[in-house]
Structure 1
Amino acid sequence: MGVNRDKVDLWKADVARSVDFYNEWFMVFAPNAFRETRIETTKRVEKALLLTENLTNIRPETLQANPSVLPMLRMATCPPIARDRLIGLAGVSPNLVKSMEDEQRIPPMMKAAELLEQLNRIGDIIERMADPDIFVWKQRSDNGTTEEVHRASIIVADRLCGAVANPIIRNAQEKRQLAAIKSWLEARGYRELVLGDAKDFLTMPAGTFSFRFNVPITMDGGKKVNIPVDAVIMRKNAQRGDFPALFEAKSAGDFTNTNKRRKEEAVKIQQLRKTYGNQIAFDLFLCGYFDSGYLGYEAAEGIDLVWEHRIEDLAQFGF
């Protein structure tokens, strides 16, 4: 018997309460989370402008030494250039651009002469397409005033943050969710795992918990990989060989994306059972827009759930 997965008659009311819970949080905290990220991003944009002489001299050596500035430079053009568009316009290697943006490094096997040539092409495109309404000093052929550079940095930072607004909010929400679990567990005598307490999730001492813990699984063909689990909790009464409880903290600001991604949890529980057997459990800690279609899909896989607005339901999992 489940805690909430089989309480279909309660789902409608809980969905409504969860949506209200998320919306209240969003209205109060999301603007602050976005603003804090924008402030930090503005500082990084100012650094990128300093390195490129305020977008008047984007040298290939600068890009080679500071590959992480490329996403900011793409947002400095008119119009802002998507990654694939930059690759096409500059006629450069997709691997070069993706490595600079995703890994903040230059491909190690790329030949030096070819690298400098391609970085030079990227710099030329950025300089030619730099937004004249933002970088007003380029029309004057100078480097701009301090006030102009700061204003331009804020605008570019806004563009960058706007492109990743959902991840910013999602990360802030996840931190809050995990903090709520931590507070609830510690109030009941649990303690957070410290380095050296356990060599893996199976050897955690009773009465401990950990966040973003890697759990190894065996894929088809015998390959072992780690899957990250948001919350791993070893019950106080756990005996040797017992599995800890595994929870995924999920939040959503609309119904569409949750139903698009509902297979992710089903895949995880299937992989866990294939590796450890049917006794292992993988459940959800939810806040936001999760409708009956999503809940029914997860319940069919044997995945239970706790609503954040009813966090006390964690007690029914034996904590």
Structure 2
Amino acid sequence: MSVNADKPHLWKSDIAQSVDFYNNWFMQFAPQAYRDTRLVTTQQVESALQQTANLTNITPGILQQYPSVLPILRMATAPPIARDRLIGLAGVSSNLVKNMEEKQRIPPKTERAILDTELRKISQIIARLADKDIFSWLDTGRQPTDTEIHRAATIVADRLCGAISDPIIRNAQERRQLAMIRQWLEERGYSYIGGGTRLSFERMQPGTFSFRLNIPIVLQGGTKQINIPIDVVIKPLQSSSDELPLLIEAKSAGDYTNPNKRRKEEAVKMAQLRNNYGENIRFILFLCGYFDSGYLGYEAAEGIDWVWEHRIEDLAVFGI
């Protein structure tokens, strides 16, 4: 039985309410989430400045010792350099740059001579393009004051946060969505189980739930097993031992474009789950924000139902 997917006459009203719900949250909480992240990022930039002697000592040795400073150094140039632009300008391996930025390490087994050459190229590009308006001491050779260092770190932090503003807001929204689900469940007698308990979703006890649980599946052909991360897994209070939990994907969107670009992802996930666990597997969405009729119609056609965050009590209709 569908709860919302088979009621298109309600979609227009729900879409409007969901957009208002998201916008109200954004205006009230998003600026604080951004400020909190900027404060932490400013501290990281100040640490990077200390490690590079306020950008006066950007050497292969320093980059090898502190690979995590690279994205900060990219934002310390004029103009700020995107990752791929740095790779192209310096003529270095994308694997090196991606390892330094994503894994905060130098790629294992890299030949020393090649590594020194490529790190020197990166150092030269950063030193040549360093923003002298922010780091005014680079032209004069004088020691900057603490105030100048903090001001420069704040500017670079703003650039970094501007480049990742969408993920900052998305992560804050996800935390809020999961907290809302948790409160709703605990008020009804459910118990939370942490993900560090090596929990298997097939062996969950009635009246329990967990967040960000990996569900193992075997891909078509039976040659490879992968894990599908699920945001919320709930074993209903009144369920039998052989009944599978309800799986929920929490989704929020601040515009209509991105959800429609990625709407196939849920359909693929649903198909993989059904191929592995049968037609009785239940997978729904928890929506907040900009999800239009095109998105809803696509998901409904794929057999995916949903609960609107502004009407979270619909979870009860799914037997929760």
Q: Which bracket does the TM-score occupy, shorter chain normalised?
A: over 0.9
Deviations 1:79-101 (A, max 9, x none): 01111111111121111001111
Q: 1:203, 1:39 → 2: CA distance?
A: 42
Checking the alignment, whether the CA contact within 8 Å between 1:198 and 1:205 is kept in structure 2 is no
SS at match of 2:57: coil
SS at match of 1:217: strand
Aligned counterpart, 1:231: 232
Aligned counterpart, 2:29: 29
SS at match of 1:229: strand
Query: CA, structure 1 residues 129+268, in 2 after alignment: closer, same or farther (shift >3 Å)?
Result: same
Detail structure 1 runs of 4+ shifted over 2 Å in the superposition. Answer: 194-199
Checking the alignment, whether the CA contact within 8 Å between 1:286 and 1:307 is kept in structure 2 is yes
Q: 1:119, 1:194 → 2: CA distance?
A: 42
Aligned counterpart, 2:285: 284
Q: 1:143, 1:57 → 2: CA distance?
A: 13
Aligned counterpart, 1:122: 122
SS at match of 1:239: coil
Aligned counterpart, 2:91: 91
Q: Does 1:66 align with 2:91?
A: no
* Per-residue deviation, 1:118: 1.1
Aligned counterpart, 2:144: 144
Checking the alignment, whether the CA contact within 8 Å between 1:284 and 1:303 is kept in structure 2 is yes
Aligned counterpart, 1:170: 170
Bigger Cα displacement from structure 2, 10-19 vs 108-117: 108-117
Matching of residues 41-56 of structure 1 within 5 Å:
41-56=41-56
TM-score normalised according to structure 2 size = 0.98
TM-score normalised according to structure 1 size = 0.98
Checking the alignment, whether the CA contact within 8 Å between 2:205 and 2:241 is kept in structure 1 is no
Matching of residues 7-26 of structure 1 within 5 Å:
7-26=7-26
Q: 2:268, 2:112 → 1: CA distance?
A: 43
SS at match of 1:189: coil
What's the RMSD between the two structures over aligned residues? Answer: 1.1
Query: CA, structure 1 residues 205+198, in 2 after alignment: closer, same or farther (shift >3 Å)?
Result: farther
* Per-residue deviation, 1:196: 8.0
Letter in 2 for 1:82: A
Q: 1:18, 1:152 → 2: CA distance?
A: 40
* Per-residue deviation, 1:220: 2.3
* Per-residue deviation, 1:240: 1.9
Query: CA, structure 1 residues 255+195, in 2 after alignment: closer, same or farther (shift >3 Å)?
Result: closer
Percent of aligned positions that are identical? 64
Letter in 2 for 1:156: V
Matching of residues 179-218 of structure 1 within 5 Å:
179-194=179-194, 199-218=199-218
Unaligned regions of 5+ residues in structure 2, if any? none
Paired positions, count: 319
SS at match of 1:228: strand
Letter in 2 for 1:4: N
SS at match of 1:107: coil
Q: 1:107, 1:197 → 2: CA distance?
A: 32
SS at match of 1:248: strand
Query: CA, structure 1 residues 59+281, in 2 after alignment: closer, same or farther (shift >3 Å)?
Result: same
Q: 2:81, 2:285 → 1: CA distance?
A: 38
Letter in 2 for 1:104: Q
Deviations 1:49-76 (A, max 9, x none): 1100101111211111211110010000
Aligned counterpart, 1:219: 219
* Per-residue deviation, 1:4: 0.7
Checking the alignment, whether the CA contact within 8 Å between 1:247 and 1:284 is kept in structure 2 is yes
Q: 1:197, 1:240 → 2: CA distance?
A: 19
Aligned counterpart, 1:308: 309
